Amino acid sequence: MIGRMIDHRYRVRSRIARGGMATVYLATDVRLERRVAIKIMHGHLADDQAFRERFIQEARSAARLSHPNLVGVYDQGAEDDTAYIVMEYIPGITLRDLLQEHHALTAEQATDILRAVLAGLASAHRAGIVHRDLKPENVLLADDGRIKLGDFGLARATTANTATGAALLGTIAYLSPELVTRGAADSRSDIYALGIMLYEMLTGEQPYKGEQPMQIAYQHANDTVPAPSAAVAGVPPELDDLVAWATARNPDDRPRDAREMLDHMAGNQQRATGQYRTAVLRPENATAILPAGGTSPTSADSGDATTILEPAGQQSSRQQPAGRGSRNAPGPRRTGAQPGALSPAGQRLADKSAKRRKRGWIVLVVVLVLMAIGGSIGWALGPGPWGNVRIPEVAGKSVSQARQLIEAQGLHTASSTASRFDAVIAKGQVSATKPAAKHEVRKGTSVQIVVSNGPKMIALPAIVGQPISTVTAALDDDFELQDDQYQFSADAAKDTVIAATGLGTDGKSVDLTTVKTYGERGPVTLTVSLGPVPDVVGKTVDEAKATYDGVGLTIGAQDGQFSDDVPEGQIISADPQDDPVVKGTAIDLVVSKGPAPITLPDVHGKTINEATSTLEALGLKVSVPDCTNILCGFYDWKSSLPVSATDPAAGSTVHRGDTVTLAYKQ
């Protein structure tokens, strides 16, 4: 597969991994100029309808999901009866690779990976999809720190009937008890597999071992997963509890789905990792500023609160009827000051309260101003003129359409366009943009449109009459070689090229032997000679059939024909039904029936010479016994004596070359 162009779009570069159903390759999407991972089903499974349906189900299941912790699916299709899936390429390693390198992970590493896998799996469970094949090989750790869950090859909708033998296709080390005993799977089966993975991350080994898969399956169904701390000292008890909860043999005792388990971890203070959440509480002891005439706070309210009191005269006027005084009215004691004046302590408290009120207003104004500035900046950097936008995908569109799409995003298009050769995009259409599509840039950025000049024209080497191996080597780097065609030719040696065709810009076939150049990556179909059609003239039909079977030809109609030259049963001629002659063409045969039969005419009464002429004209030989009469020596007796009989007799069937004896009276 390496080097092949799939669906005229994906060029396979190298192999990444190989599994039981498919092989994953690194490929380049030549249309969007990005690297992708393409998963191609094994060829020997192409005729198995069940495998094809499972393979297509993987694409459909994964395509329904969109989450940062799930591998994205871009495309799905089939070519030459081989199904493929195009996925997001994640450069990095798998969790299995990490465990093989480090054996066991720390509690912090294990919980970080588990949290990411749970987040992606929760998205799948929310969509009604059960993964059913969770294992370290399907957890991808990207070079940039991203953690993604992939390979939904065994995924099923939770409402589907999964109580079949196919349910046991998951890796045996991670199968839940209900999958082993009943063959039924739901979201809790995925939770069980995650519990086994967490145990393996913490301890470096799987909880159950055995020489045979059935031994491991039996332990899943009948044993309880031990605590990780029993195998590795220092594992926090919170993670022991999490493993025990996730791997409970009874599905009802486990989290019902990934979201519940993830919420449980979020609600925990993460004692296992030493990280604690900080709760910001409202202060219990606040400063209360009471309005004038307000009632005195109760003991429950005034523990540490500060109460600002107004002048005693004002308080008393609010607290008692006019004309009545009270020595016990609340407020600072009078010290001989003028009516309405505060005591020194009260005045200091009032001044401090006024400063606090003033400072509060200043803080409020500053906060409002900062909020306005922040909102303006956010608007400018978002929907406003300074915001970032993605350059739209305009490949394959006309220049005017591309300008409209680009300018609709708040971008500018450069006045001049660039050009480049493009083996995929037709000449005159947009090939790309600078910066490239999907790049995030500031609004107002100038974007240059790159127009396709069509494929680059490349000089063609000598083709006709050359060995196929030589021509293939010369064309393979620059063109897309299609499947070779083969035909018989009396003028060309076997395995030499007799014709080459391609596609013109108008989509019509082009004879490449009549042109000097051809577009880069253009399709090329070579016609290869099978040598001349074998000559079977003079052979029997059985011999001809054996000869034709050896070169892929068949026998068509068979006609018989009389022949004086070809013995009966041998082939007189062989003519193909089609031109050109290719494998599978039928050859019509003409088979000899031997010489044509002749009915011997009656020459009785004719002279010997006349009878001889008549019979020889029919291709017969004539025998005349010598005349023994002495008188025959004195005249031309053959022109005078009449024929009295013939051997064979008149009316008999004879053939050319047979001898007829004439009888006469002497």
Active-site residue set: 133
CA 264, 266, 269, 274 torsion-angle sign: positive
Q: What is the DSSP letter of 467?
A: B
CA-CA distance, 91 to 262, in Å (whole number)? 26
Question: Which tokens sit at 292?
Answer: 């004038």
Nearest Cα to Cα of residue 110 among 196, 175, 173, 174:
196
The total number of residues shown for the chain amounts to 666
Q: CB count, 10 Å around CB of 78? A: 15
Question: Which tokens sit at 139?
Answer: 């957890």
Helices 237-246 and 187-203: crossing angle, nearest 10°?
A: 150
Per-residue b or e along 556-572, where b marks 16 or more CB atoms closer than 10 Å to that residue's CB = eeeeeeebeebeeebbb
CA-CA distance, 596 to 602, in Å (whole number)? 19
Strands of the 22-29 sheet, one edge to the other? 5-6, 10-18, 22-29, 34-41, 82-88, 73-79
Q: Would you list the DSSP string of 103-123?
A: SS--HHHHHHHHHHHHHHHHH
Q: CB count, 10 Å around CB of 181? A: 13
Q: What angle do CA 49, 51, 54 make, to 5 degrees?
A: 110
Question: Which tokens sit at 105?
Answer: 């992970």
Torsion region of 266: left, alpha or beta (phi above 0 gives left; psi -120 to 50 gives alpha): alpha
Evaluate whether 51 touches 21 at the Cβ level (below 8 Å).
yes
Residue 590 forms beta bridges with which residues? 559, 573
Evaluate whether 647 touches 622 at the Cβ level (below 8 Å).
no
CA-CA distance, 562 to 537, in Å (whole number)? 15
Nearest Cα to Cα of residue 22 among 46, 41, 5:
41
CA-CA distance, 309 to 297, in Å (whole number)? 11
Helix or strand holding residue 5 (H, E) = strand 5-6
Nearest Cα to Cα of residue 249 among 192, 190, 198:
192
Q: CB count, 10 Å around CB of 584? A: 9
CA-CA distance, 148 to 68, in Å (whole number)? 7
Helix, strand or coil, per DSSP, at residue 396: coil
